[in-house]
Structure 1
Amino acid sequence: MDRNKIMMKIIEDPVSRQQFYSKCKDSIVKKSNELGLLCDTNIALLMVSPNGEVTSYSGGESFEDIMINAMNQFDELNQQFTPNPNEQDHKKKLNEVEQTLHEAQEKISSYEPQAENINTVEEADAYEQYLLGVIGRIQLSKAKFLDNQEFLKRNENVAMASVNAEDIAPIGND
């Protein structure tokens, strides 16, 4: 017995496609029934034809019951999964990073207060006091920075003067 092999590509003609579906649909349902009986398994089969016709088959129980049981088994399998220690370490590290990010975002928001979010005079006063304190700290840092620059300039001048004095000394001894 020689069977004709079918080329596995979509059938372009819609009428031919529907005819082929109708012929094979019954064979698939028959094979599903045989598999359920021979192997004592619950089978739920759902097919939608090219023109939208729905065919469902279930062996033994109703289609809905088989699908509900399958979904429950899937949920039970997911609940039985226990994460490995590395995954727990990664989750802990992720939580720490998220906490650090949250703290950084809060600090950034305090550096850039949104005037439109101020709702009371007390909030405005608090922001003003905070900003005045920040300005004071910035001015101190600036003064320290300028003092350091002045100190460096003075040291450069002293170093230049000592280098020039050494250059002059040998000339004066001649």
Structure 2
Amino acid sequence: MLFSLCTMVLAAQNNFRKFDSTMKLGRAGFRVVCSNKSEEKNMLSITPVGFSNQARDVSFDIKGRVLKAEVDDLNNDNFPDLVIYVYPKGDKMKGTVLGVASINNESFMPISFPDITDDIKNRVGYVGYDQFTLMEGTLMRRFPVYTADSVGAQPTGMVRQIQYRTVPGERQNLQFKVVRSYEFKQ
């Protein structure tokens, strides 16, 4: 099972194509476009769809390539929020999440995502191979757990799943916060 998980993730890494998708929740949502040409840096464009006229497109460089994006109501305000799964250069598929929250379908703001290396509990045994998905308004992250050896880490046969919820952060921003994590055998 671990082999199939790693094989699937590595195959995905080699199949990054131009990402161009429009996702809606009801009548509103987002269009996300990324060329995915370079492993190092790409231009990402986010266009609000079904928002008021004052909502503007944004474009900025990202480190890595977009594998997937999803829309759901992450902060229980009945408006669509966006998550984009980005994988920087490297063979271990260490992913990150770019989050965007709708503000009454008039504008939008970022949702910050914590670096797993800052999480004392969940960083133990982490080497990458991230998979992300949205589930009922929460963000789920899953990866195989490795031995804690810094040299020659080996898979343990366990998978760690971390559940994140969107909460108010500093300076009226939103952030993803770990709600719980657990491990299970593959």
Question: Computing the radius of gyration over CA atoms, which structure comes out larger, 1 or 2?
Answer: 1
- Structures share a fold, TM > 0.5? no
What TM-score do the two structures reach when normalised by structure 2?
Answer: 0.20
Work out which structure has the larger RCO, using CA pairs closer than 8 Å and 6 or more positions apart in sequence. Answer: 2
The structure in which a higher percent of residues are strand is 2
Structure with bigger helix share is 1
